Amino acid sequence: MKKSIAVKIWRYAIIFVVAFYLLTPLAAMLDFSTKSMSLLSPGRSLDSWRAIATQPDLTLAITRSLITAAIVMTVILFLIVPTAIWVHLKLPILRRPFELLCLLPLAIPAIVIVVGVAPLYRWISIHLTESPITLAGVYSMLILPYTYRSLSAALDAVDIHTLAEAARTLGATIPRVIFGIIMPTIRTGIINGSFIAIALVLGEFTISNILNYKTFQVVISQIGLNNGSIAVAVSLASLIFVLALLLIIPNKKRQGAVLDVDIA
């Protein structure tokens, strides 16, 4: 009994410390964004929050970033996930090389990646389009380490070989096995990878800034050059928006319905 109470106290203490660590910066942002910068009218004001809607390029940047995040999530769902499943299922000898390949973006500094992809994006800007949505390609590469580790952990926790053999015995095709049986089983890993994709796309600054694309974070940085309170208000609003978005997305029933599609 004493041990049980001690464990509960320890758990609550950890939760409190983590919550304090995460919420203190948000409280400081709220305090700063509502504090009046004028000496003539001290106190609290929501002027910075009201000014969010009047900021140029902000709505367009948010729209572009969300479209980019949707493209990256599509790449995860229809390219990275089936590849990881196929490697675990049929090519286990390639697991280590594939994992090493996916972890490479962690070992390469962002500035080096920019130098490498800059000629490609210069060509795209001249001959195809100047839209920041094209950054979905490099973002899909950047999320590989995190997405693969999430998928790998989910695949290791499930006996996919038995599932695949049972499905094949019942006449399921390979696409049906991957998309209709295994993917719904590892939906938690897929959702975690989607979380990371959204967080990376909406939070990445270095590559888009150096390549001179007006993404969400670049626009926030530009706003901060003129008014720090508005920039902090936009940043806090974006965190709240992303949190709400992440709470809406992982609907297990809806996710299962999307993944459990008969592709046979």
Q: How many domains does the chain have?
A: 2
Query: What pLDDT score was predicted for residue 41?
Result: 62
Assess if residue 166 is contained within a domain: yes
Residue 109 has pLDDT above 70, yes or no: yes
The pLDDT assigned to 20 comes to 92
Q: How confident is the model at residue 49 (pLDDT cuts 50, 70, 90)?
A: confident
In a domain, residue 233? The reply is yes
DSSP state of 108: S
Find the domain containing 7 and state its range.
Answer: 1-45
Q: What percent of the chain has pLDDT over 90?
A: 3
Per-residue pLDDT band for 264 (boundaries 50, 70, 90) equals very low
What is the mean pLDDT of the segment spanning 202-229?
84
| pLDDT of 256 strictly over 60 | no
For the chain, what is the mean pLDDT?
A: 81
Q: Please report the pLDDT score of residue 21 as a whole number.
A: 92
pLDDT category at 261 given cuts 50, 70, 90 is: very low
Do 68 and 32 share a structural domain?
Answer: no
Tell me the backbone φ, ψ of residue 35, rounded to 5 degrees.
-85, 130
Instruction: Please report the pLDDT score of residue 260 as a whole number.
Output: 44
pTM for the full predicted model = 0.77
Residue scoring higher pLDDT (30 or 45): 30
Same domain, 30 and 68: no
- Looking at residue 257, what is its pLDDT? 42
Q: What is the pLDDT of residues 145-168, one digit of tens each?
A: 888 888 888 888 888 888 888 888
Continuous segment of H or E residues that includes residue 125: helix 110-127
Integer Rg of the chain from CA: 22
- Residue type for position 177: V
Q: Which amino acid is at 73?
A: M
Same domain assignment for residues 41 and 128:
no
Q: How far apart are CA 93 and CA 89, in angstroms?
A: 10
Comparing C-alpha atoms, which of 257, 93, 73, 95 is closest to residue 179? 257
Q: What is the pLDDT, as a whole number, of residue 259?
A: 41
Of the two residues 16 and 38, the one the predictor is more confident about is 16
Tokens of 79: 């390219």
Q: 117 with 125: CB under 8 angstroms?
A: no
Length of the chain: 264
Same domain, 36 and 76: no
Other CB atoms within 10 A of residue 170 CB: 9
Q: Provide the pLDDT for residue 258.
A: 40
Query: Can you give the CATH number for the domain in which 236 is found?
Result: 1.10.3720.10
Q: What is the dihedral of CA 239, 244, 247, 251, to 10 degrees?
A: -140
- Return d(Cα 118, Cα 123) in angstroms, integer: 9
